[in-house]
Structure formats: C-alpha cells, structure tokens
Amino acid sequence: MPVTHKTLVKSKQGSNAQSQQKPLAAKTAKVVSKKKDEDDGTEIGEGGDEWMHGKTLIKPPDQLDLTEAELKEEFTRILTANNPHAPQNIVRYSFKERSYKPISSVDQLAVHFFLEGNLLHRDSDEARRQKAKQGLPDEKATVVTETEDEKLETPGGGEDGAHSVDSKTGKKEQKLTNQFNFSERASQTLNNPLRERGCQTEPPPRASFSATANQWEIYDVYLEEMQKQEKNKEKAKAVPKKEDDKGKKKLTLVETQSDDLTKVAKVAKIIERMVNQNTFDDIAQDFRYFEDASDEFREQEGTLLPLWKFQYDQAKRLSVTALCWNQSYKDLFAVGLGSYDFTKQGRGMLVFYSLKNSTYPEYNYPTTSGILCLDIHPDRPYLVAVGFYDGCVAVYNLKEERPEPVYKSSSKSGKHTDPVWQVRWQKDDMDNHQNFFSVSSDGRVVSWTLVKSELVFTDIIKLSLVGAVSEGPEGVPPPTMACGTSFDFHKQINYLFLVGTEEGKIHKCSKAYSSQFLETYDAHNMAVDAVKWNQFHPKVFISCSSDWTVKIWDHTIRTPVFIFDLNAAVGDVAWSPYSSTVFAAVTADGKVHVFDLGINKYEAICQQPVVAKKKTKLTHIEFNPVYPIIIVGDDRGYVTSLKLSPNLRSKPKEKKGQELPRGPEVEIAKMEKLLSLLREPENSKGRTESWCQTDYGPQALDFRR
C-alpha cells in the first residue's frame, strides 16, 4: 500500500496564494503569532512568516485511491527467527540407509556484524608486556584529580576537597570485584582431581591387499558360483531317498556359509553370556562365594539358597518330565518337557540350559509327542537318548544343526506300544556300537543299538505279574503283563539292574537271564516313581512312590532298611555325588527334603518349599556332579537352581596333625556302619540287636539293645 508523503511548501508564491484564498485566517494567525512572540520576548526576523504557513499533502501520481474502510484495514506481520534466505532442500548421504536423506535442521543464524576485539585485562601478563614495550607508566601511581566544577559542587570548599585528594592519594586503590577473574568464596567448590585410566591391547593383525577388478574377472566369479550351485543340485538328485536329509543338509550348509550372521554367532553368544552375567551378578557372586554363616547356630540343619530360574516362553503349559546333567560340561543340563496329565497330551520339547545364560536355552528341539525321560551319554556328551509318550525312543546329536533326531524307532523297528518311562545309556558293545536301554508300560525292557542309520532293538526281559516271561514261539505276550515305570543299572556290576513297576514292586534282574527275576521286593503300595543305586555302596539302592514314602534298601534283604514318610506324593529322589549318606527328594506340595543319614537317621535336615504358588508340584530333582547345587523342575515348566548350605554338605572335621582319609572307601565305610546296626540280629557277647519298622511318619525305626 503506498504511503502518502508530506512536504512543506516554502515558496513565497505558495504562501501568497494561500493568503489570497484565506486572508482572514492568515491575518488572525499573524496576530496570534505576534502576541505569542511578544509574550515570549522573542523576535522573529524577516522571512519567518514563511515557516508559519500550514502544511499541505502532495499525492504521488501513482498512488492508489483507497476508501476509508480500506485505509482502516490492518495487516499483521509475524516476525520469526527463521532465515528466509536459508535453503530448505539440503540433502546428505546416509550410509546406514544407503540413500540421500533431507536434513530437517537448517542453520537459521545470520551474522550482521562481527568484530574481533583487542582488549586485554590490565593485570594480565600480556598487558604488562605491551606496556613495558610501549614505555607507558604504571597506572597504580596515577593520582585522581577533580575538575574545578566538581570542587565547586562539593560542600565545604577547597579544604575538604584537598583533604579528600590527600586521603585518596594516601590509601591504596581497592581491587574491583567485577573483574574477569572474580569469584565469590562462598560459591567455590572443590573440584575433583581428574584421573586418567588407559588400557593397551594388542593391535589386530593387518594385511595389505590390492587387486584390480574388471568385467572379465567379475564375469568369471559369477560363472564359478553358478557351476557350484548346479553341481550341488546334481548331487542332491543323485542321492537315494534314504540320504535325502544329508543332501539337504549339505545344501543348507553351503547357503549358510555365505551368510554373514553365522560368522558372528559365536561372538554374539559370548557377549550375551557376559551381559547376563552382569545382569545377574548378585546371583553369580552367591553361587561362587556365598556360604550361609547362620548354619553354625542351627544344630546340624541346613537351608537352600535360590539361584537362577530357567524358563522358556515357547515351553509354557508343559511340565518338567526329565532332568539330566552333562558329565563333560558341568554347567550344561537337559530338560525334558511334556505332560503327566494323560488327558491333555500333545507336543513336547527338549531344551538345554547353561548356568552361564539363564534367560535363553543353548539348544531347543520341539517334538510332536511329549517327552517323559532322557539321558545324556557319559562319554559322548553330544548324544542324548529320549523316550516319548507315544512309545518311541530317539537319539539327538547336538553337533548336527537340525531339529529332527538322528535315530528314531518306529513300529517296524520294534517301538514300545505304551509310554517310555526311563532310558539309560550303557557301555559300548563288542562291536563298539553305542547302546541304551528303555522300559515302558508295555512291560518290555529293550536294548537299542545304534547301527549305521537305524536303531536295532533286542528285548531283554518282559515283566509280568507272576514273573519274567520269555518270548514264546508265536511272539504273543501274555495278558498279565506288568507295567514298568523306572529302572537303573548297577554302578559296578554291568549286568545287574532294578526295575520298578506300576504295581509297586521292584524286580532285580540280570541281562543274562531273561526268563526269571533274581529277586522281587514288595516295595510300595502305588507305582514306583524312581529307583536308583547308591553312588558308592554296591548293595544299597533307594526308591520313592506316590504313596508318600521314600525307602532305602539293601538288595540282599527283602525288607527296607529305612522308611521315610514325607506327608505328600514323592515325585523323584536322587543320591548326592559327594556323600553316600546324603539324598534329596521332591514332593507334590512344593517342598525339597534333604536327608543325611550320617547326621539324622529319622528326619530330614532340610525341609524347604521352593515354589511361589501353592498348587505347583515338584516333579524332578538332580544333583550337580561338581558344584554344591541342585536343580528342581515343576509342573509349570520352570527349573529352579538351589545352592546347598554348608550343613547339607558338611564333612568330618580334621584334627590337628591328622589327615582324614578321603575317597570312595570312606563313603562305603560310612554307609556300612549304618547298615551294620540294622541287619538281622546276631548273637555276640550276650547282646542282641533288633529293629522294627512302622508306617507312621519319618521316625520309622526304633533301635533297641
């Protein structure tokens, strides 16, 4: 909108024309101005009348004619800090996304004036050097003088002024507080001294490489790659049907070699373990160093310290049906997942955990049927035998990266017709073939041998309610078959093994005799959930059942030596690897019971619940072969690791200057001492020893002399 310009017309012609048009107004204006000049006492010279005339507005020829409404209309403009000349389309190359990306933030600063200062502080070293170079006097010696006007203004005349000058010259000049290096004492804080920490590592190896690439070389590389792929396809077609899996495996290996992620898999696993160790550092410290000092005041009672808790999200709603430690890698253990509720049978899973990483399993193998038992080979830690609910047995090889087992039984290869409750590896046969045994509810104890790419089975014994039954000529089993639920092989005598049945009996069998039992024990009123030989003593074994009892046996005697009632269904029992008199059991009420017969023959020295929810049932327990910890599985798929307090693994105190004997002989002697008190009475020196047992509570033994 154009702006009107105001100009003053100073020419005489303009004033005369104005005076001619309005003579009366001009005369009155002159009279008024003369009166004002007279009152003010000022005189106006000639030509003063010209400046007293009115101002007129001259309209430019190109100005628009606007109405009153348009003139009164307001236009608002908002001032912003954005630079209108700043470019808005700047792009930069992103190496992450490999493309050009626009930059959102643009510099809006516009510098209108810039001047480098050359001021120096007068007390600084640079200022003193320049003064000395230019020969200027020091300003501290200058005297402040006052001007005459200031002397007149000060009351008291010149004497006071002179006195003030003397006082100023006599005193030292005070240091101003607003200098650049000023800071109040109250605001000063102690600055922590800076510390430098450095580490030096060996530089990574370097190698200089130089080559030239042209179209011919690139073309040759592509041709070689295509030829490799064609050869692999031809090999896959030439392989017969039985070896289709191996051909597929070779193809997958060729493909994975080109994948960059496989190169960092091992490094990523190590970093993941380091992160987990830092996250659960308090648990790792407790596992390594914590010893419960309060055990000294508990009178031979102990506690269990919870450590890591293992869980896999894909294994939810599955129960822990099997646990087994790896004998070669002491921190690795296998977990079998399935279901004991036979109305809700479905999938299962084989999972391997390590104490170094509790958040995610090392290996996991999903299965179509629920797993009920497993066992890791003692000499070949990569072989795992598994028994399923559908009667199959399988062998997994951890070295081969595929979800299917390398061996699996079928209906043609003599698989069980009922769930497989227990599998155990045995020593290699005469031909150096690996073999393992299995027991099932169909009453068969079967030996499985790994021959080339298939499992070869051999029936060792068939259980019946009357006795062992050998294979008839027609091969039809009798209708009165007993259901095997658990078994275990002797630690020193290879051919001797025990079998627990669903009817509550335990049979002592031999591999050499398939037609009869060596001994039968009326053990429990319900199914035998577990039977295990002692780690040290060759005559002792232990059994547990859902009838709430745990019993310890001498296999030369038909009656139990110890009976313990735990007031709940017992899921599993295990001997400790460090003592012949220590064992632990888990019950359906969520408690772990630890016994040491050398300390207390009547009740547990530790009885502790280890689950959060009351309805959770504990199913299995295993001792670590080296570390003082146990792992416990429940019916919700969780595995909890617990550390034994010093009282639960106490050893006899050493006397000064006397070393205690160590080794398996000492443990055998400890158990033999207990058994000598409980065997059949023998008349010696006119004294008799007798024992009686009852079925009421943990105090099942009464010693009388």
DSSP codes joined into one string, 140-171: GG------HHHHHHSTTHHHHHHHHHHHHHHS
* Other CB atoms within 10 Å distance of the CB of residue 499: 27
Q: What is the per-residue pLDDT across 560-580, written as a single tens digit (0 to 9) for each?
A: 888 898 888 898 999 988 888
Per-residue pLDDT, averaged over 332-342, amounts to: 89
The pLDDT, as a whole number, for residue 145 is 44
DSSP code string of 623-658: E-SSSSEEEEEETTS-EEEEEEPGGGG--PPPPTT-
- Give the pLDDT score at 385: 92
For the stretch 651-669, pLDDT in tens is 655 555 555 666 778 888 8
Model confidence pLDDT, tens digit, residues 215-240 = 888 899 899 999 998 988 888 777 65
pLDDT on residue 691: 35
- Is it the case that residue 185 has pLDDT exceeding 90? no
Residues 6+ apart with CB under 8 A from 224: none
Contact 566, 542 (CB under 8 A): no
Instruction: With cut-offs at 50, 70 and 90, classify the pLDDT of residue 590.
Output: confident
Cα separations (Å) of 89 from 93, 101, 104, 109, 121?
13, 10, 9, 17, 46
Across 672-701, average pLDDT: 48
Instruction: Give 1's pLDDT tier (boundaries 50, 70, 90).
Output: very low
- Cβ–Cβ < 8 Å for 573, 548: no
Report the sign of the C-alpha dihedral through residues 40, 46, 48, 49, in that order: positive
Q: Is 670 helix (H, G, I), strand (E, B) or coil?
A: helix
Find out if CATH 2.60.120.10 is the number for domain 284-467+480-649: no
Q: Which residue has the higher pLDDT, 535 or 172?
A: 535
pLDDT above 70 covers what percent of the chain? 73
Single pTM value for the model: 0.59
pLDDT, mean of residues 35-55? 52
Separation CA 25–CA 363 (nearest Å)? 113
At residue 238, the pLDDT reads 74
Q: Name the DSSP letter for residue 478.
A: P
Residue 336: what pLDDT? 92
Euclidean distance between CA atoms 633 and 586, whole angstroms: 9
Give the whole-angstrom CA distance, residue 700 versus residue 142: 112
Give backbone dihedrals phi and psi of 58, rounded to 5 degrees, phi first.
Answer: -100, 125
Spell out the domain ranges in the chain.
Answer: 284-467+480-649
Out of 156-165, 330-339, 595-604, pick the least confident: 156-165
* Residue scoring higher pLDDT (22 or 488): 488
Q: How many CA atoms lie within 13 A of 255 on its CB side?
A: 8
More confident call, 479 vs 351 = 351
- pLDDT tens track for 505-525: 888 888 877 777 888 888 888
Q: What is the DSSP string of 174-217?
A: PPPS-STT---STT--PPPPP-------PPPP---------HHH
Query: From its phi and psi, is residue 264 left (phi > 0), alpha (psi between -120 and 50) or beta?
Result: alpha
Strand partners, 100: 93
Residue 84 reports pLDDT greater than 90: no
The 10 Å CB-count burial string (b at 16+, else e) for 18-35 is bbeeeeeebeebeeeeee
